[in-house]
Amino acid sequence: MAQQPKEDYKDAHERHWEDAEYLFQAERLANADHLYGLSAECALKAILARTKFSGAQLPREFRIHINQLWDSFRSLAEDRYLSRYAASLPQDNPFSDWQISQRYCNRNIFAQDTVENHRRAAELVGRLLLEAKKDGLL
């Protein structure tokens, strides 16, 4: 059986973001949207992997996508240390209308303002990762 590849959430966040931006500039909205969601997911998982579950695979309840992970991340934050990151995330999940299965959908369903919303949210999560970096977490 093939070996499970090793996760690098931080790098995955960065490459998804960079490619999403590339596609967004080229008005390839459908795939840009897909990658903004994955980019935000990887950023939150990068923080979780270094705070709560260092060294081990993320537990099953966190192996979810950004439309669910956003709320789980906020709910999990409890100590002052992790809550300094969670507190920057708005309560209303901007990815609630994002789904991984949208990759099978027609390109016409991806409206400009929805994608822009996801872009802004992914940028916000990216800034969170930057704070974690300055703290020495990553």
Partner 1 sequence: MMSEFVPFDSLWPRCQEAVRESAESLQRAGCGELVFIRDLWSRVRVAVPLDFPEGWSEPLRALAARLKDRLGPHAYAPERAVLELANEDLEQLKRSAIERDENGIKLLLVDRVVTGSRWSLKPETQAPNRFSFFAIKGGVGRSTAVAVLASHLAREGRRVLAVDLDLESPGLSSLLLLAEEYPDFGIVDWFVEDAVGQGERVLRDMTAPPSWCGSFRGDLYVAPAHGRLREGYEEYIEKLGRVYLDMPPTPDEPAAEPWLARLRRLVEGLEQKVQPDVVLIDSRNGLHDLAAAAVMAVGAQVCMFALDNQPTWDAYQMLFAHWVRYGVAKTIRENLKIVASMIPETGRDRYLASFRERAWDLFRDFLYDEVPAESRAEQDRFTFDLNEEDAPHWPLEIYWHRGVPDAQTIADLPKQTEREAFAPFLQGFEELMAEQR
* 136 near partner 1 (CB under 8 A): yes
Strands (E), the chain: none
Which residue is it, tokens 């992914």? 122
Residue at token pair 């439309």: 67
Contact 67, 37 (CB under 8 A): yes
Distance CA 58, CA 49 (A): 7
User: Which x/- pattern, by CB under 8 A, does the window 46-85 give for partner 1?
Assistant: ----------------------------------xx-xx-
**How near is the Cβ of 88 to partner 1 at its closest, in Å?**
6
Q: What character string, x for contact with partner 1 (CB under 8 A) and - otherwise, covers 104-133?
A: --------------------------x--x
CA 127/CA 15 separation, integer angstroms: 15
87 is an interface residue for partner 1 by CB under 8 A: yes
# residues contacting partner 1 (CB under 8 A): 17
Which CB, 100 or 124, lies closer to partner 1? 124
CA-to-CA dists, residue 110 to 2, 27, 75, 104, 120, angstroms: 35, 11, 29, 12, 15
Residues making contact with partner 1 (CB under 8 A):
80-81, 83-84, 86-92, 130, 133-137
